[in-house]
Structure 1
Amino acid sequence: MTPHINAKPGQIAKTVLMPGDPLRAKFIAEKFLTNVELVNTVRNVFMYTGLYKGKPITVAASGMGVPSIGIYSYELFKFYDVDRIVRIGSAGAYTADLKLYDVVLVNEAYTDSHAYAEMVLGQKTHVLRPSAKLNAQLLENALKLGIDVTVGRIHTQDVFYSSRPLEKTIEISKAIAVEMESFALFANAKKLGKEAACLLTISDNLITHEETSSEERETKFSQMMEIALELA
């Protein structure tokens, strides 16, 4: 056990899906898994292990932001011997072409600050990439399920309420959408020789100002969930 996870050895599966919201983790476990066990309750960051189509998988909340997912993904990789983590989260679109509920598969994560990469990897980089192998598997899963996926660069932003003009942020990041966690997940995977990927559902559009409700973000992002669950 770690300071942040009280699961016992063997209670975490080799494949972990990480939504940000603990209640989304609970929803996924109850809706899609069988033989479900709640294996972590520290700080109410719920983690569940169960079976999907007879195969073990863990759904673990990450909390919000780089520091939070940085802690949980590192501990899962390092101390629970997890092989691969897929973040399944929400994102705000930087382009009018992305509609509410569209699914995005991340092929690059850009961050404004190189601090996390410098501290974890010892390098000053603003861009990190997921596992190419894992991305290929997720694309194959989406194809089999008949779900359209947009592949692109996302912006992992540390500041939610930024005063920088949106147009400037989009110009700098060259991203199609924004979220707050993927860069740290990719850094930890690279550091520890593990696999990581990120699937996102568009929850709001910063260009058109369309948005979903908190309840919809918790329960209605099922396509992204189904693509990731097929990795079990």
Structure 2
Amino acid sequence: MPYHIKAERVPEGVLITGDPLRADRFASLLERPRLINDNRGLRTYVGFYKDKEVAIAAHGMGGPSVAIVVEELISIGAKRIIRVGTAGAISPELRPGDVLVADAASSTYGGAGLGLYFGSICPPSSPDLELTYRLLQELSKLGVKATKGAVFSSDSFYAESNVLGLLKSLGFKAVEMECATVTALSRIRGVSAACALVISNSAGSLQSDQALVDKGLMSAAAASLEVLIR
């Protein structure tokens, strides 16, 4: 049994999200959900979606926290992981409630909690192509217009405004805190991972429309569960 997630097993398909209260909301999409872990606030549910068993787990904030959760979920059975979370828009065409599916993720050198994993080697942090393609398909079926693009995983929420110009010039569409860690660790552990992000605000501003964000999150969660049960 892992040190933080006190459970013996999870199904192969796991949806992960930062906020434990968001994990509660996503669990409402499941049939017969049951809470199998609440240790350290890393709330983890197992239930059924269209008669197929899946899990939903909270991973906390930032690379080090999500690294712990991804490692432990993989150790007890996870093989397909989709992060559903929020991001701050760098690209001006993205608005609160829009969905961005990451087709690449990056961080500062040694950042996102990855320094001890990769040493002097730049980590491979691209999402799984098949899961990413299926995510885009399922979002389209739900009538959700989703954009794909590169995201930057930041270690310092309140310092991101200092580098937004550089990130924009490098082609990043949004900034968040976990995708690079999720995709890099999944790749070296031999499992598949993808990320669906709902724009919560423009990076550098805290103004948002929570109703639109919540609607986007539930749509992204539903699409992700469809992908995970295949």
**Alignment pair present for 1:101 and 2:82:** no
Does the 8 Å CA contact 1:16/1:57 hold for their aligned counterparts?
Answer: yes
CA distance in 1, matches of 2:215, 2:21: 9
Does the 8 Å CA contact 2:16/2:58 hold for their aligned counterparts?
Answer: yes
Which residue is equivalent to 1:21? Answer: 19
1:196-211 equivalences under 5 Å are: 196-206=193-203, 210-211=207-208
SS at match of 2:172: coil
Instruction: Evaluate the alpha carbon distance shift between residue 180 and residue 208 of structure 1 in structure 2; reply closer, same or farther with a 3 A threshold.
Output: closer
CA distance in 1, matches of 2:223, 2:135: 6
Q: Give the deviation of 1:127 after TM superposition.
A: 6.2
1:34-49 equivalences under 5 Å are: 34-49=31-46
AA at the equivalent of 2:77: D
CA distance in 2, matches of 1:71, 1:163: 24
Q: Give the deviation of 1:81 after TM superposition.
A: 1.9
Decide which moves more: 136-145 or 56-65: 136-145
Q: Give the deviation of 1:112 after TM superposition.
A: 1.4
Q: Give the deviation of 1:89 after TM superposition.
A: 0.2
Gaps of 5+ in 2: none
Q: Give the deviation of 1:170 after TM superposition.
A: 2.2
Decide which moves more: 202-211 or 79-88: 202-211
CA distance in 2, matches of 1:3, 1:138: 31
Number of aligned residue pairs: give it. 227
Instruction: Evaluate the alpha carbon distance shift between residue 131 and residue 29 of structure 1 in structure 2; reply closer, same or farther with a 3 A threshold.
Output: same
1:179-190 equivalences under 5 Å are: 179-190=176-187
65, 82, 88: which one aligns with 1:86: 82
Which residue is equivalent to 1:193? Answer: 190
SS at match of 1:48: strand
Instruction: Evaluate the alpha carbon distance shift between residue 113 and residue 101 of structure 1 in structure 2; reply closer, same or farther with a 3 A threshold.
Output: same
Q: Once the two structures are superposed, what CA deviation does each residue of 1:28-58 show, in whole Å capped at 9, x if it has no partner?
A: 112x111111011111211001011111110
SS at match of 1:75: helix
Which residue is equivalent to 1:230? Answer: 226
Deviation above 6 Å: which 4+ runs of structure 1?
none
AA at the equivalent of 2:61: M
TM-score, normalization by structure 1: 0.89
AA at the equivalent of 2:151: I
Gaps of 5+ in 1: none
Structural RMSD (CA): 2.2
**Alignment pair present for 1:147 and 2:144:** yes
TM-score, normalization by structure 2: 0.90
Q: Give the deviation of 1:137 after TM superposition.
A: 1.4
Instruction: Evaluate the alpha carbon distance shift between residue 170 and residue 126 of structure 1 in structure 2; reply closer, same or farther with a 3 A threshold.
Output: farther
AA at the equivalent of 2:4: H
1:50-61 equivalences under 5 Å are: 50-61=47-58
Q: Once the two structures are superposed, what CA deviation does each residue of 1:112-161 show, in whole Å capped at 9, x if it has no partner?
A: 12354452245532662010111111122122222211000001000111
Which residue is equivalent to 2:125? Answer: 128
AA at the equivalent of 2:107: T
CA distance in 1, matches of 2:22, 2:94: 22
Decide which moves more: 170-179 or 42-51: 170-179
AA at the equivalent of 1:100: P
SS at match of 2:67: helix
Decide which moves more: 82-91 or 144-153: 144-153
Instruction: Evaluate the alpha carbon distance shift between residue 126 and residue 204 of structure 1 in structure 2; reply closer, same or farther with a 3 A threshold.
Output: farther
1:102-117 equivalences under 5 Å are: 102-115=98-111, 116-117=113-114
Does the 8 Å CA contact 2:160/2:203 hold for their aligned counterparts?
Answer: no
Does the 8 Å CA contact 1:128/1:187 hold for their aligned counterparts?
Answer: yes
